[in-house]
């Protein structure tokens, strides 16, 4: 046998893992359903619109946008076509490099994002913030930071 053999998770660790994943998925599902019913936006639409709202001049190169929302370029490309048909975004020549393109937030997209944000943030508060104590929120932040740091170190290795 080469190198130390890594132990598998214990029964208790697997139970905690499943509970974490199932709860996270239930939260995401409920938030997605509410977002869709209240604003006709999908979580993907919201992620794209948020990234563009936060971007300088409300525009980003597709590769930068894909990286910011954690998507593959091909997935983003298909999604952007659907959003373009709905008038939420448009593609434009890149101001800095005429060979490239940028994704630009339209006024309609900005309006859709604004209308969706308040109900979405209320749902986040209701489903995630309110049920937890301050100490539990702090622990959730610490957990997320620790897991993200571990994932980033794997990617950079």
Q: What mean pLDDT is predicted for residues 38-52?
A: 97
- One DSSP character per residue, 40-56 reads S--HHHHHHHHHHHHSG
Architecture of domain 14-132: Orthogonal Bundle (1.10)
Please report, for the chain, the start and end positions of each structural domain, with discontinuous segments joined by +.
14-132
Decide if pLDDT at 147 tops 90. yes
Q: How are strands ordered across the β-sheet holding 89-93? A: 59-60, 101-105, 89-93
Give 1's contacts (C-beta < 8 A, 6+ positions apart).
Answer: none
Mean pLDDT over all residues of the chain? 94
* pLDDT tens sequence across 13-39: 999 999 999 999 999 999 999 999 999
Place of tokens 């997605």: 32
């Amino acid at each position: 046998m080469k190198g130390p053999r890594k132990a598998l998770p214990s029964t208790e660790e697997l139970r905690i893992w499943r509970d974490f994943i199932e709860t996270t998925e239930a939260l995401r599902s409920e938030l997605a359903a509410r977002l869709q019913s209240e604003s006709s936006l999908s979580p993907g639409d919201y992620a794209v619109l948020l990234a563009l709202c936060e971007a300088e001049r409300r525009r980003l190169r597709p590769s930068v946008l894909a990286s910011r929302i954690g998507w593959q370029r091909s997935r983003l490309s298909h999604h952007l076509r659907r959003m373009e048909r709905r008038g939420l975004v448009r593609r434009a020549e890149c101001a800095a490099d005429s060979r490239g393109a940028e994704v630009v937030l339209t006024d309609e997209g900005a309006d859709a994002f604004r209308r969706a944000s308040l109900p979405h943030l209320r749902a986040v508060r209701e489903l995630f913030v309110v049920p937890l104590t301050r100490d539990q929120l702090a622990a959730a932040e610490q957990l997320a930071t620790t897991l993200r740091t571990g994932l980033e170190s794997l990617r950079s290795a």
